[in-house]
Amino acid sequence: MMKAARPFQLHVLLLLVALAIAALAVSAGSVDDPEVTDGSGDAAGGRDSHDIIKAWVEAETNTTITLRMQLTALDTVSPRDDWLTLPTTTYEYYFSISDKDYCVRATVPVHGPFAALASYGLYKVTYGGSDNMTYDSVGNPGGNYLVADSAVQWVVAKGDIGSPSQGEIMTHMWAACYFQPRNEGKEEVDHAQSYDAPGLTYTIRGQYSQLYHVFLRASNSTVEGEPRMATVFNITIVSESTTDVEVNITNSSMPAGYYVNYSRLMPIPVPEGTSITFQVVVNVPDDAKNGTDVMIKLTGTYLTEEEEELTTDNLNLILKVRFIPQKPPEEEQTMFTILRDFVKDYYLYLVIVIIIAIVAALLYMFLGRGIKSDDAALHEYQAYLDSQGEKREMGGT
């Protein structure tokens, strides 16, 4: 019934079994589907107020968890024999969460109507070998001895059990009833399941009857956009909730000229445990500048079974549109276009070459005129020499 010393391998096996149960079992939490069950009429001594039938997580808020133990009956007033022996009856409900073991206890001494002297406690439990357990008090839960309902009830503050968050699992649930006459040892008179053979698990949900977990994914969070062209983001809503939800997505305001549309009408119904894909379509304006980055923030809410619209950061997503201008169409390459492109690309060099050519032509013309003048003078001098030679030949001086 109790957790005893065991080899490491057995610890690992039990952990794997517990994880499998947590993954597969549907969380209970009602009188018709309790976490802990037991047959009736099996209490030692046959006393109805010692006979555990079932135990379960009855209710939950964001700050408390209510546990209930059902018995065959409860004593309105302690029987006559109890007044002679002055015994105490103890009801205990065990559970584990976040790798810590706990127990709530109702201690009911001999009493008059409705167990007015009953006390209630919350303990951290350490399981030892040889069916031995030790207890450390960690809180004082609210409690009720409900004679008309044949039940004992505890209201536990979540802060006293580690403030479990939504989605955490309560495991290793079992219950026991003890009877202890005055000056005698405590004796177990009934138990329902055990640590090593526990009842069902329970998933922490907060104040809601269902567990909600929805989030967004984007297959492409950055898209390059061209003017007059639609950029498309593929978005998936993933729901790991225990019931159907409706998700509503909105976006932040956009710069002038940018327009956002959705491929589905909002809100989007998302069945339990499924995924729904839709598109966010963004139109880019004609005058967008090259390299412009436009951020789009998606924000979502979901509707619960209680018709309450809730927000979550899991439904927030940042998308980005990067503007890329369209390239002009390529022209057919002809001799004219090749020459035109050459002039356009090498215009400065062509101007320099033309200036050099003009200067060279002018210099050539200037030098040519000088050479012609020198040649004329030489011809004239040569003619003079020739004429003097002819005179000498004719006998002149």
pTM to 2 decimals? 0.62
Together in a domain, 221 and 301? yes
Any domain includes 328:
no
List the domain range (segments joined by +) for residue 176. 8-203
What would the pLDDT profile of 91-135 be if each residue is shown by its tens digit?
A: 999 999 999 999 999 999 999 887 888 999 999 999 986 568 899
Domain membership of residue 397 (yes or no) is no
- Comparing CA positions, the residue from 179, 165, 206 lying closest to residue 308 is 206
Q: For residue 50, is it within any domain?
A: yes
Mean pLDDT in residue range 158-183: 94
Q: Which of 5-14, 229-238, 319-328 has the highest mean pLDDT?
A: 229-238
Residue 267 is part of a domain; what is its CATH number?
2.60.40.10
Residues 103 and 192 in one domain: yes
Same domain, 245 and 186: no
Q: Is residue 228 assigned to a domain?
A: yes
Task: State the SS3 of 79-119.
Answer: CHHHHHHCCEEEEEEEEEECCEEEEEEEEEECCCHHHCCCE
Which of 270, 295, 323 is a domain's end point?
323
Beta bridge partners of 156: 65
Instruction: Answer for the pair 168, 98: CB distance below 8 angstroms, yes or no.
Output: yes
**How many residues comprise the chain?**
397
Is residue 386 a part of any domain in this protein? no
pLDDT tens digits, one per residue of 370-393 = 666 666 666 776 776 777 766 666
* DSSP 8-state symbol, 46: G
In-domain check, residue 275: yes
Is residue 67 in a domain?
Answer: yes
Asked if residue 65 and residue 26 are part of one domain, the reply reads: yes
Q: Among 174, 203, 232, which residue terminates a domain?
A: 203
Residue 170 included in any domain:
yes
Q: Same domain, yes or no, for 219 and 152?
A: no
Q: Are residues 152 and 245 in the same domain?
A: no
Place of tokens 């079932």: 54
Alpha helices in the chain (DSSP H): 8-24, 80-85, 335-345, 347-393
What are the backbone dihedrals phi and psi of residue 344, each rounded to the nearest 5 degrees, phi first?
A: -65, -40
Q: What is the rounded distance in angstroms from the CA atom of residue 367 to the CA atom of residue 358?
A: 14
Same-domain pairing of 52 and 96: yes
Tell whether 197 and 220 lie within a shared domain. no
What digits encode the pLDDT tens for the residues 48-69? 999 999 999 999 999 999 999 9
Task: Assess whether 114 and 70 both reside in one domain.
Answer: yes
Count of domains for the chain = 3
| 351 & 252 share domain | no
CA distance readout (Å), 359 to 94, 363, 366, 370: 108, 6, 11, 17
365 or 393, higher pLDDT: 365
Residue 125 sits in the same domain as residue 224: no
Q: Which two tokens stand for residue 343?
A: 């002039």
